[in-house]
Structure 1
Amino acid sequence: MTDEKGVKAMPRSVAIIAILLASASPAWGQAANGNAAEPADSEAGNAQTGRADENAVRAANDAFGTSVGNEKIGLYGVGDVRGFNPATAGNIRVEGLSVTEHGGFTSRIASGSTIRVGLTAQGYAFPAPTGIADYALRNPGDEAVLSPVLYFGPNRTAAVDLDAQIPIAGSRLSMAAGIAYRYEENFPGEDSQTLQGGAVLRWRPADQVEFKSFYTRAAIMDDLDIGNIFSGGPWLPPQIERRYFGLDWTQTEVRRRFYGALGSVRLSDAWQIRAGLFRSENEVKLNPVELYRGVGRDGSAQRQLVVTKDQAAKSTSGDLRSSYSFGEGSRRHIIHLAARGRETRRAYGGGDVRDLGPATIGERSDLPQPAFDFGPLTRDDVRQITGGIGYELRWPQVAELSLGIQKTDYEKNVRIPGRPLLTTRDRPWLYNGTLALHLTGKLVAYAGYTRGLEDSATAPSDAVNRNSAPPALRTSQRDAGLRYAIRPGFNLVAGLFDVRKPYFNIDPDRVYRQLGTVRHRGIELSLAGQPAPGLSVIAGAVFLDADVSGEAVDFGIIGPKPVGTANRIVRANLDYRLPFFAPLSVDIGVVSQGKRIASALEYAELGGRQLTTRPLTTVDIGFRYRFQAGAAPVTLRAQVTNLFDVYGWNVSPNASFKFNETRRFLMTLAADI
């Protein structure tokens, strides 16, 4: 339903998705710190305490990326680490175990995530070149807690989470379950509805044994997105009002399902087994995308519509680890044996492309919905099996060493209607090594090298081979750095990194293909901890030098800088609990990013350089007020983002533009009953 201005009216009631549980079949997990031979999680240390006190700034140990509930801070996120995407690359973990998923994590089953790079990845037996995004499942304890959370803003956004932890048999068997509904309006008129449900069942039949099973579903409905804007020359799009200006009927519908089981068994003081088995399904029922091509300095453009339906990605994946440790004086040796596999099936293509004529970005121009004509789908499947052996040395206050070697067998089959079967195979050896030396009681130096086989992003909607995915790519990473303990609980990390992989993007004929090799070199800094009582600081910076090399650059087909990368990102978050009024804390966040590469081409008008966006700095402020409602702790959270309403453009790797968020007000009310 829409009002007279074309803005969607508030939604009607929707049916509740039933919450189902996978059975607690034998499966294995690991301690949250990622160290394979550590004891199973203790009951006290990992019991869920509700949601009223969620605070990402106070929970983070570094500035590389932490999420707690719906809060996210840090330099990196699940979709961006050192200029690459660990989710696309397949470097997602569930409590240290490898999983192939397609956007399946929700706050109903996951309490948060942590980005592991550099020294923070030490202790992972088999790291990945593009970094690791490690999710933690909700961990219910032996106390019954009901946690309602209400959200208001930005714009007309309104949402509710209802999460509970339910003890069934004391500390031995418990459940965390929840349901959430969200009506979201990021910009005026750009809105969607989301419904989620999920649960985690935790079973501890013995002190050294823990099983978890989980199930979650999500439905994204009536989702309107601002179209992709492409500049027609060496200029940025003109500044326009930040609101939805597209067609009311271009609504995306998505269904997701994610379930599995994991756990750990310590067979003896020296031997531990962990494993997980997972299933992830993502179905895009309908996905209309508006493209505004050749945008002029005055905002004029040619509008195109690309519509696809029944696009799907479904994966089954598993990870089995066996770790044996033994001591030698103060030294500890750990040997890991691992086997993991995945099978992914995708259906894509068959889109209907319509030219809608001239348009002006920022101005509404309604058209009737046509009858779409979809073509046959392309289907592909990927099967990959990997076996490996790893070794760790832990020598307290002296050194930590990690070595690993893996053999992987990869096969991809592509079935394009009317064409012969296309098969790609690769069976490389993968290896890694990291070393950390304790130079003094406060100073640690580290260095590492990792070689991997990672997936690449699918072709964007403006490519002629849209949604197609390249075969897995051989990648490598080198990094080194220092960690200095300024004081207990307050650390500085400084590092260098060099990541290399094949470069895929759209060529001048709009074909998504390999255009060369990309190399991301940079410096990253993290300052994290509590420098003073009541004050938590998470601050970081990354200075990136990204380059593309190969024939496409040599022949002038593209420029030497990959589109979408920024040469500088600085982020800082501070949380201060007032000493004279303990229930109240104030927080501030600052994000400053440098110029982003905004065109694949070099322009004579720009002195032979590629187009770039302007630097952008935004400031957020907020507060938390904690109080009691009877016996229940309650937290009121209010925040203003982009306080000074700074206007800027973000740019994607396919050179499409989208304006940044306006000044926004958000409020959250959370309780633990």
Structure 2
Amino acid sequence: MGEALSNDASVSNGNVRRGRERFYMRGFVLEPDQSYLRDGQFHLSRYSQPVELYERIEVLKGPSALLYGKSTPGGMLNLVTKRAQNEELNVSIQQEFASFGMSKTGVDLSGGLNESGSIRGRTILSKTAEEGWRRYRNGEHARQERFVGAVMLEADLSEDALVKLNYDTTQDEGALDMGPQHIKDVSSGQYWLVGKRDYIWDMPWSSRDSNVENIGFTLDTYLNDSWSLSSGYNLQRHQRQTTESLFSKVRFVNKGDTNNYYLTGKASSDRFELGTAFLDVKGDFHTGNINHRFLIGSSIVDYFHSKQEYKLKNPIGQINIHGTDIIAKPDELNYRNGAVKQIRRKTYGLYIQDLIEFNDHWHLLAGLRLDREESGEETHHNLLPKLGLMYHPTQNSTLYSTYSESFEPRDPVSQSDDVNYGKRLKAERGESFEIGAKAELLNGSLFVSTALFDIQKNNKVVTDKSGKKPITTQSGQVRHRGFELSVEGKLTSKLSILTSMMYLDGKIVKDPKFTGKRSKDTPKFSASSWLNYDVTDASQLSIGAVYVGERFGDTPNNFLKDAYVKVDLGFSHTFNFSHDQQGILRVNIDNLFNTDYLRGGCNNSAMFGSPRAVKATFQYKF
């Protein structure tokens, strides 16, 4: 997902530890349990997403809580799955090889299952293995393996009714790499990253094992030419086990000595179950000369999380960063030795929205959502408005202004040594104001979009750890203001462009310790641009660049990550064979100039960006 989202400057990389990707949008963290949608419905993203299953990734900027319930103020990502919509048999076989021992094999079969084509199916299978470029102290790589399998079915129940069924599984396992640590230099007072670029601090037996299943259906019915009804249900199950030799902040044996550190062991097992159901009624009608695009709907989200975790009280042992010795995994390091904690939440939502078209120039979008979230500890109620005004000076341009709100319910304080342990917390709330313009230029071949936004998040949960005991309160407040510009389309008949940029002023407005600091991992300026040139009718040459400005890697603003530019290069050629058979060869070079840069991380660590890598893919379609 990170490769795809690098084309949008408003999205940046966050923590990539434990084998999954995290992102920021407009400087706000996209939380894995409330910032992701799959086909427009709530989706848990606590695993490496199977991009093989997705037709596209939609970036929904600004609060999206009106239609989707709880969400972060920055926006959401909607993962749109592929469909079984081809009546004729289509087969695609793909083989990929890349640097650092990476290989990937994929098969995609789609077509009609009966003579009329009213029943259609699609099967996607993918197997990936990768060694990676970083090494453990004994020379081993942090090997990763993943299997993705999916079955999609579609059936035309009548001319006005369509049912879609889906099942998919993602099995992901591999070693852990918690990333290098940034610490304070005693003599200079500056913060820097400790360790060699390719050195993994963990032991080779550190591992993770993740298994995700999704099964569901949607039913779309057209009641008449103006009204339609959509309903659906999806059940997501996720089981994950991790064994860690190094968690939280690294503890060095002696102050000022970064060569020797302690290993700390933790084992955990998580089980997630998420059931989502929705019912939407859509209508297109007139009242006099005014047209309405109307939506009323409801949703239910049933969330369950069971966690069993065990931490060793004492260090496993001491390690010298320049050595090659391995400390064995302790026998008692087993998650079954820990206590079981469970959380269940049910959220009920009712929403209504109307796009009112007064005439060709003036449109108004108005909506309201009511949510009720129930858990064993607390019940939250939220009423969220949304208002948008659009003016179309011409048929191909729009000026707009919007106001919307977001909310993020929080569980009671769970850390046992916290002064406010067990205290109930209110939902964190966000407010967003945005004005912008969109236009189609060059006879519709080029799309330009700009936006000015001001987002404020209140009731933010913060923990002050400066005293003898941590104190968790809701005294935090942040404010992010910025400007975005994107250009997409064809500049000439052979040259196309996809470019975006964002200026962001993200600051902590209120905090017990960090008032006035810049928000973590939020560069003031970022940009990306991708050019694609048709060398011939069958060959394409592409070049892209990503710029990320300097940003702080921690909340106190002690660790500054340098700005960087990363350039990528690609070439593809299509071979047309007889009988509608086709072969596509793609060669990509990631990080062409081998730029040394830092990706996202947590308050204690950061991840090195990958060095230059070459990837070759051959796809055969018939």
Structure 1 length as normaliser, TM-score? 0.78
Q: Percent same amino acid at aligned positions?
A: 17
Residue 523 of structure 1, aligned match among 450, 464, 483? 483
Give the Å deviation of 1:265: 0.7
1:339 counterpart residue number: 298
1:154–1:185 CA contact under 8 A, matched in 2? no
1:548 counterpart residue number: 508
Residue 639 of structure 1, aligned match among 588, 607, 611? 588
Corresponding residue SS for 2:32: helix
Write the deviation string for residues 283-308 of structure 1: whole angstroms up to 9, x where unpaired.
11234252462679885353433423
Residue 576 of structure 1, aligned match among 533, 549, 557? 533
**C-alpha distance in 2, partners of 1:185/1:88?**
26
Give the Å deviation of 1:201: 0.7
**C-alpha distance in 1, partners of 2:429/2:176?**
36
Give the Å deviation of 1:360: 5.3
Specify every segment of 5 or more residues in structure 2 that has no aligned partner in the other structure, as ranges. Answer: 13-20, 135-140
Q: How has the CA–CA distance of structure 1 residues 471 and 318 changed in structure 2, closer, same or farther, with 3 Å as cutoff?
A: farther
Q: How has the CA–CA distance of structure 1 residues 153 and 207 changed in structure 2, closer, same or farther, with 3 Å as cutoff?
A: same
Write the deviation string for residues 19-47 of structure 1: whole angstroms up to 9, x where unpaired.
xxxxxxxxxxxxxxxxxxxxxxxxxxxxx
* 1:251 correspondence with 2:199: no
* 1:185 correspondence with 2:131: yes
**C-alpha distance in 1, partners of 2:601/2:449?**
29
1:444 counterpart residue number: 398
* 1:161 correspondence with 2:94: no
One-letter amino acid of the counterpart of residue 520, structure 2: V
One-letter amino acid of the counterpart of residue 296, structure 2: L
1:79–1:88 CA contact under 8 A, matched in 2? no
Give the Å deviation of 1:522: 1.2
**C-alpha distance in 2, partners of 1:104/1:492?**
32
Residues 371-386 of structure 1: matches in 2 within 5 Å? 371=331, 372-373=333-334, 374-386=337-349
1:72 counterpart residue number: none
2:228 counterpart residue number: 272
One-letter amino acid of the counterpart of residue 282, structure 2: S
1:32 counterpart residue number: none
**C-alpha distance in 2, partners of 1:63/1:595?**
14
**C-alpha distance in 1, partners of 2:260/2:290?**
66
**C-alpha distance in 1, partners of 2:152/2:530?**
31
**C-alpha distance in 1, partners of 2:394/2:290?**
18
**C-alpha distance in 1, partners of 2:494/2:245?**
47
1:453–1:475 CA contact under 8 A, matched in 2? yes
Write the deviation string for residues 189-246 of structure 1: whole angstroms up to 9, x where unpaired.
1221111111111112223222111111111123332445242353221572335453
One-letter amino acid of the counterpart of residue 522, structure 1: G
One-letter amino acid of the counterpart of residue 348, structure 2: I
1:319 counterpart residue number: 278
**C-alpha distance in 1, partners of 2:529/2:53?**
28
2:520 counterpart residue number: 563
Structure 2 length as normaliser, TM-score? 0.84
1:206 counterpart residue number: 158
Corresponding residue SS for 2:88: coil
1:324–1:334 CA contact under 8 A, matched in 2? yes
1:454 counterpart residue number: 408
Corresponding residue SS for 1:369: coil
One-letter amino acid of the counterpart of residue 554, structure 2: S
Corresponding residue SS for 2:330: coil
2:18 counterpart residue number: none
1:309 counterpart residue number: 268
* 1:95 correspondence with 2:39: yes
Q: How has the CA–CA distance of structure 1 residues 133 and 330 changed in structure 2, closer, same or farther, with 3 Å as cutoff?
A: farther
One-letter amino acid of the counterpart of residue 533, structure 1: S
Write the deviation string for residues 10-68 of structure 1: whole angstroms up to 9, x where unpaired.
xxxxxxxxxxxxxxxxxxxxxxxxxxxxxxxxxxxxxxxxxxxxx979xx9x87679xx
1:282–1:314 CA contact under 8 A, matched in 2? yes
**C-alpha distance in 2, partners of 1:476/1:130?**
10
Give the Å deviation of 1:441: 4.1
Corresponding residue SS for 2:526: strand
One-letter amino acid of the counterpart of residue 401, structure 1: L
Corresponding residue SS for 1:532: coil
Specify every segment of 5 or more residues in structure 1 that has no aligned partner in the other structure, as ranges. Answer: 1-54, 67-76, 414-422, 603-609
Cα RMSD (Å): 3.5
2:66–2:385 CA contact under 8 A, matched in 1? no
Write the deviation string for residues 613-650 of structure 1: whole angstroms up to 9, x where unpaired.
11111101110111134442111111111111111223
1:340–1:385 CA contact under 8 A, matched in 2? yes
Give the Å deviation of 1:324: 2.2
1:109–1:199 CA contact under 8 A, matched in 2? no
**C-alpha distance in 2, partners of 1:404/1:114?**
21
* 1:146 correspondence with 2:91: yes
**C-alpha distance in 1, partners of 2:267/2:490?**
50
Residue 549 of structure 2, aligned match among 591, 594, 610? 594
1:104–1:257 CA contact under 8 A, matched in 2? no
Q: How has the CA–CA distance of structure 1 residues 80 and 207 changed in structure 2, closer, same or farther, with 3 Å as cutoff?
A: farther
Q: How has the CA–CA distance of structure 1 residues 293 and 98 changed in structure 2, closer, same or farther, with 3 Å as cutoff?
A: closer
Q: Which moved more, 1:507-516 or 1:476-485?
A: 507-516
**C-alpha distance in 1, partners of 2:117/2:10?**
34
One-letter amino acid of the counterpart of residue 133, structure 2: F
One-letter amino acid of the counterpart of residue 507, structure 2: D
**C-alpha distance in 2, partners of 1:290/1:158?**
29
1:483 counterpart residue number: 438
One-letter amino acid of the counterpart of residue 180, structure 1: S
1:279–1:317 CA contact under 8 A, matched in 2? yes
One-letter amino acid of the counterpart of residue 528, structure 2: R
2:219–2:231 CA contact under 8 A, matched in 1? yes
Corresponding residue SS for 2:512: helix
Give the Å deviation of 1:161: 1.0
2:32–2:44 CA contact under 8 A, matched in 1? no
One-letter amino acid of the counterpart of residue 465, structure 2: P
**C-alpha distance in 2, partners of 1:613/1:255?**
34
Q: How has the CA–CA distance of structure 1 residues 389 and 494 changed in structure 2, closer, same or farther, with 3 Å as cutoff?
A: same
Corresponding residue SS for 2:23: coil
**C-alpha distance in 1, partners of 2:561/2:43?**
36
Q: Which moved more, 1:218-227 or 1:541-550?
A: 218-227
2:32–2:45 CA contact under 8 A, matched in 1? no
1:4 counterpart residue number: none
Q: How has the CA–CA distance of structure 1 residues 172 and 282 changed in structure 2, closer, same or farther, with 3 Å as cutoff?
A: same
Q: Which moved more, 1:452-461 or 1:124-133?
A: 452-461
**C-alpha distance in 1, partners of 2:293/2:576?**
47
> Between Structure 1 and Structure 2, how many residues are aligned?
581
One-letter amino acid of the counterpart of residue 152, structure 1: F
2:614 counterpart residue number: 665
1:139–1:176 CA contact under 8 A, matched in 2? yes
**C-alpha distance in 2, partners of 1:536/1:460?**
52
**C-alpha distance in 1, partners of 2:101/2:413?**
33
2:15 counterpart residue number: none
* 1:615 correspondence with 2:615: no
* 1:497 correspondence with 2:497: no
One-letter amino acid of the counterpart of residue 380, structure 2: D
One-letter amino acid of the counterpart of residue 387, structure 1: L
Residues 406-417 of structure 1: matches in 2 within 5 Å? 406-413=369-376
1:559–1:600 CA contact under 8 A, matched in 2? no
Residue 79 of structure 2, aligned match among 135, 138, 147? 135
Give the Å deviation of 1:367: 0.8
One-letter amino acid of the counterpart of residue 277, structure 1: Y
* 1:424 correspondence with 2:383: no
Write the deviation string for residues 412-462 of structure 1: whole angstroms up to 9, x where unpaired.
33xxxxxxxxx122112111111221123443211111112236799999x
Give the Å deviation of 1:151: 1.4
Give the Å deviation of 1:559: 6.2
Residue 111 of structure 1, aligned match among 55, 61, 67? 55
Residue 598 of structure 2, aligned match among 649, 654, 671? 649
Give the Å deviation of 1:484: 2.9
2:181–2:194 CA contact under 8 A, matched in 1? no
2:17 counterpart residue number: none
1:339–1:388 CA contact under 8 A, matched in 2? yes
